[in-house]
Amino acid sequence: MTPLEELRGLATTAGAIVVGGNHQKARGHPSRHLHSAKGKLDETAGACEGGRRGRLIFDNDLSTGPDSATWRKGTGVKVLDRSELILDIFATRARTMEARLQVELSTSSNTRCREAAQNVDDTCRR
């Protein structure tokens, strides 16, 4: 199973209807806040139909600040990465108070690590 197929499966599990997918090899000089060149943002914005599509899901981690904000503004849709998608799946399936608290703790830890990584490279990478 390819990473894109796995991501498709996760999105379907989360209740999404997958309408497209794109794999991009790094080439040229990608923008630091786009993980790709500007043309890919424009192409993706067109595919999102001016915000009428619900979500844009990335396989790689995005920072909470510039990365997701740039894509959100450029496409008009909510932007998630793999980690956020998995946490969303756990959140919808958490039944007990303990499970909901574990998801909340994981979500806040994930957010804190992303914010720290903006200031110091690789803060939460192990």
Q: What is the largest CA-CA distance in the chain?
A: 48
pLDDT in tens, 48-67: 876 666 788 888 877 655 67
Assess contact for 3 and 82: CB atoms under 8 A.
no
CA-closest candidate to residue 57, choices 30, 36, 84, 26 = 84
From 1.10.10.10, 3.40.50.11060, 3.40.367.20, 3.30.70.560, which CATH number describes the 3-119 domain? 3.40.50.11060
- Angle in degrees, CA 80, 113, 24, rounded to 5: 40
Of residues 39 and 122, the one with the higher pLDDT is 39
The rounded mean pLDDT for the chain is: 79
pLDDT in tens, 19-59: 888 777 666 555 555 556 677 788 888 888 766 667 888 88
* 77 vs 49: CA distance, rounded Å: 10
